[in-house]
Chain A
């Protein structure tokens, strides 16, 4: 059922050979072999980190990635793309990725998420709808409707209710019981929804014009506070983080100006606890050339360590420790922007998508260029660092 278009079989074979290394638990040999894997062009920089490449990746830019929750044995990865499709792969411990299924929308897919039990996948699309994909039956039905593309979709599992939250460019945030075609609730947003994240009982939505709203989801979703943005540029991505007791306590917000703000909801000392840091910029400070500042396309927190990863238009990913306020690692530069990223449920795998994100307009779009999803062993590199 999967359409394997265009991918030469030979490429897959090559990648399989590479993928023999174990993805989990060990740090040895994962993508670190010194020999040139591809043997092909030495100038090919599409995978400078020598990470595992997911097979049958989408044909157009990948807009979103999501790994299955811990309730499912194994790891399943979902990716939504601008080719209107949503694909599912099983990722095995060996690093092998097996395409499993695919669904379509009638417009580019902007966001995907899983239900807490791992049986359903929700997808949000430019076709103004969100769908629920039942993996067991491989059926997808529409469960949400907006007046403009749906940019975010999140599953909310509360003790007394469950629903899907969709944020759209139509400036509304809607909550859906998947069994009904009418939304359970509609909340107005100050502007178009650009990104959102949910960790019960907290939800954060960032909108156009630097809007930032926090919602509390107990009993029923309600707006908790509107926050004046800690960033001066357009909001692009947001991710909630938790405290040591595993409760959501704040969020990281990324903008198009190579900067991430770490913001606590109720910090003991806001002036001291909240901060921002620069990232995804070219080294312009010590040269006379102007520094290039790239957008932060995605932020993801490691589920175990609490450290975070950011991916940017510059084609790099970086790992950070927000408590020690240090950078843990920055990758080599890929030849395309990294458009999305996510961790699997136990933090062993970091997935990132290499696709054009339109940061340089349509002139730089090359539809022939392949889109990749890479998988990297994240168990070691994201360990927190002791504060210096």
Chain B
């Protein structure tokens, strides 16, 4: 083929990485495999469309695109055929295809003669097998190989196939309609396909055009509410049959994870292989070291996070707060007391801005600080520090650490509790057999009466 103009030469499905001869077929595939409602089987046009349908008609929410490979399951990304595919993924695809081209070109020659014909489904599903099925050699050659379908047709393709099979798809979509399996019919099919291809070639090109200009605008923003993709009116009908069969039967539950890169070899080991082992690539994503945590979480660039960036949509979004993909407020937790990126154009995180837990935030309030009352701490609202009842002074590193503040009994109930405390504990709270609990044993400071001995300081009536 060598038509550079195409995105990756041939249309391919972003959700499952399959190649198709023609965008029309691709769309039919997407409608049947990715945008089909699992409840009523209605075929929608886009991912968001499916989500909306499920919500409105069935009152169900869906979180991922069905039959999509991990990392490509974002339900909010509006992809129609080849439109809406993030530029990054396009580039990645190109690279992959280039590599494949060299590797596959030789192998492809051998695919000629297997004669099995499976039904569309299995055929389709096998597309993900690491078969060298023709990569993109253009439509005709692959089509012409009767062997192809069978190859992919191999039943029982292993499920966990790495999603990098760019070469396979080209055939699949084309085959089904032609196929429905008959060796004898092959020849006919071949011709058919050839002509099909012929047509195809025209079509896709033609089909591409319109979207062409449309795409750029779509790419960058990926606005979820993006205008319906350019319709493809003129595409040849032939693809109907495929729609259903075509393919992509990945059986793969939408499991977003890690970017495609190297799929991890499955590891089977006991849960805790004798201590110390750890690592063991069981999870690819686990940082190479033991400290992936500190992370630089966020701050952009997903790449560093090959993990389970859930939907990996992060790729496109992240950081940029105004990111369109809904629900990706891209928290940039760069520094400790950092603030979260809580809003974006389409979503809003209901959480206070600072990146501390709700409990920490709440515990900072004077109202909840009446810990171990300490004499001499009149000012409320003073930051912490100061040993309390034998406890170590809060580390400086612990922000918002409540210090010992004088009890602030804004509410009668609090004050009541404090004082009433002894009353509640019939047995009192025998410390550790020592008078002042928490004292010596706990590397503490000077012993202090731990509980409520101190009358609450009512200095300020204010609550906070």
Binding site for B on A (CB under 8 A): 1, 3, 5, 59-60, 63, 82-85, 102-104, 106-108, 110, 126-129, 131, 137-142, 145, 147-149, 151, 169-171, 181-182, 190-192, 194, 201-202, 207-213, 216, 218-219, 222, 224-234, 236, 247-249, 256-259, 261, 263, 265-278, 281, 283-286, 288, 290-295, 313-314, 325, 327, 357-362, 367, 388
Least CB distance from B440 to A in Å reads 8
Among A149, A201, A226, A271, the one with the most B-chain Cβ atoms within 10 Å of its Cβ is: A271
Residues of B within 8 A of A265 (CB): 271, 282
- Known pairs A191-B293, A232-B298, A234-B333 / 7 extra A-B pairs, C-beta < 8 Å: A108-B362, A230-B257, A232-B297, A233-B333, A271-B70, A278-B63, A291-B326
Partner of B305, one of A131, A228, A276: A228
Least CB distance from A274 to B in Å reads 5
Interface: B61 (CB within 8 A): yes
CB-based contact A141/B356 at 8 Å: no
Residues of A within 8 A of B417 (CB): 83-85, 104
Least CB distance from A181 to B in Å reads 3
CB-based contact B278/A225 at 8 Å: yes
Residues of A within 8 A of B287 (CB): 226, 228
**Among residues 346 to 368 in chain B, which have CB atoms less than 8 Å away from a CB atom of chain A?**
346-352, 355-363, 365, 368
**Among residues 279 to 300 in chain B, which have CB atoms less than 8 Å away from a CB atom of chain A?**
279, 282-287, 290-295, 297-298
Interface: B106 (CB within 8 A): no
Q: Residue on B with the closest CB to A201? A: B272
CB-based contact A103/B351 at 8 Å: no
CB-based contact A226/B290 at 8 Å: yes
Residues of A within 8 A of B358 (CB): 256, 295, 357-359
Residues of B within 8 A of A148 (CB): 394-395, 398, 401
Partner of A276, one of B308, B391, B413: B308
Partner of B431, one of A141, A190, A209: A141
The segment out of B22-30, B109-117, B168-176, B418-426 that lies at the interface is B418-426
Partner of A292, one of B159, B160, B348, B438: B348
Give A138 to B398 CA distance when docked, in angstroms. 34
Contact flag A229-B450 (CB < 8 Å), given A182-B441, A273-B255, A360-B350: no
Contact flag A327-B61 (CB < 8 Å), given A271-B255, A275-B257, A295-B351: yes
Give A141 to B369 CA distance when docked, in angstroms. 21
Least CB distance from B377 to A in Å reads 14
Among A137, A138, A256, A388, the one with the most B-chain Cβ atoms within 10 Å of its Cβ is: A256
Give A266 to B278 CA distance when docked, in angstroms. 10
CB-based contact B293/A209 at 8 Å: yes
Give A102 to B305 CA distance when docked, in angstroms. 46
Residues of A within 8 A of B48 (CB): 285
CB-based contact A139/B425 at 8 Å: yes
Interface: B430 (CB within 8 A): yes
CB-based contact B345/A293 at 8 Å: no
Interface: B371 (CB within 8 A): yes
CB-based contact A288/B225 at 8 Å: yes
Interface: B266 (CB within 8 A): yes
Binding site for A on B (CB under 8 A): 38, 48, 51-52, 55-56, 60-61, 63-64, 70-71, 76, 159-160, 224-225, 252-258, 263-264, 266-272, 275-276, 278-279, 282-287, 290-295, 297-298, 305, 307-311, 314, 318, 326-331, 333, 336, 340, 343-352, 355-363, 365, 368-372, 391-395, 397-398, 401-402, 411, 413-414, 417-418, 420-421, 424-432, 437-438, 441-442, 444, 450-452, 464
Among A147, A228, A388, the one with the most B-chain Cβ atoms within 10 Å of its Cβ is: A228
Residues of B within 8 A of A208 (CB): 355-357
Least CB distance from B223 to A in Å reads 12
CB-based contact A359/B351 at 8 Å: yes
Residues of A within 8 A of B285 (CB): 227-228, 230, 270
Give A266 to B264 CA distance when docked, in angstroms. 12
Give A258 to B349 CA distance when docked, in angstroms. 8
Q: Residue on B with the closest CB to A169? A: B398
Residues of B within 8 A of A258 (CB): 327
Q: Residue on A with the closest CB to B51? A: A285
- The contact sample of 6 A-B pairs, CB cut-off 8 A, is A181-B441, A226-B293, A232-B297, A232-B318, A276-B308, A293-B348
CB-based contact A284/B284 at 8 Å: no
Contact flag A141-B430 (CB < 8 Å), given A126-B402, A170-B395, A225-B279: yes
Q: Residue on B with the closest CB to A388? A: B38
Least CB distance from B448 to A in Å reads 11
Q: Sorted from nearest, which 10 A-B pairs have the closest CB atoms?
A: A181-B441, A230-B308, A276-B310, A228-B292, A139-B427, A216-B272, A211-B293, A145-B442, A225-B278, A275-B255
Contact flag A281-B327 (CB < 8 Å), given A228-B287, A362-B365: yes
Residues of A within 8 A of B257 (CB): 230, 270-272, 274-275
CB-based contact B432/A181 at 8 Å: yes
CB-based contact B282/A230 at 8 Å: no
CB-based contact A275/B256 at 8 Å: yes
CB-based contact A286/B52 at 8 Å: yes
Q: Residue on A with the closest CB to B265? A: A269
Give A367 to B287 CA distance when docked, in angstroms. 44
CB-based contact A266/B271 at 8 Å: yes
CB-based contact A277/B159 at 8 Å: no
CB-based contact B372/A257 at 8 Å: no
CB-based contact A228/B356 at 8 Å: no
CB-based contact B258/A271 at 8 Å: yes
Residues of A within 8 A of B51 (CB): 285-286
CB-based contact B326/A271 at 8 Å: no
Among B345, B351, B398, B421, the one with the most A-chain Cβ atoms within 10 Å of its Cβ is: B351
Partner of A137, one of B275, B292, B427: B427
Least CB distance from A252 to B in Å reads 13
CB-based contact B76/A285 at 8 Å: yes
Least CB distance from A83 to B in Å reads 6
CB-based contact A232/B327 at 8 Å: no
CB-based contact A290/B343 at 8 Å: yes
Give A367 to B367 CA distance when docked, in angstroms. 12
CB-based contact B359/A106 at 8 Å: no
CB-based contact A106/B340 at 8 Å: no
Give A5 to B102 CA distance when docked, in angstroms. 78
CB-based contact B394/A104 at 8 Å: no
CB-based contact B362/A358 at 8 Å: yes
Q: Residue on B with the closest CB to A228? A: B292
Q: Residue on B with the closest CB to A291? A: B347
Residues of A within 8 A of B340 (CB): 233-234, 256
Residues of A within 8 A of B392 (CB): 147
Q: Residue on A with the closest CB to B442? A: A145
Give A256 to B393 CA distance when docked, in angstroms. 30
Contact flag A1-B426 (CB < 8 Å), given A107-B368, A211-B293: yes
Give A218 to B272 CA distance when docked, in angstroms. 9
Give A229 to B418 CA distance when docked, in angstroms. 40
Least CB distance from B351 to A in Å reads 5
Contact flag A103-B398 (CB < 8 Å), given A191-B293, A272-B70, A275-B308: no
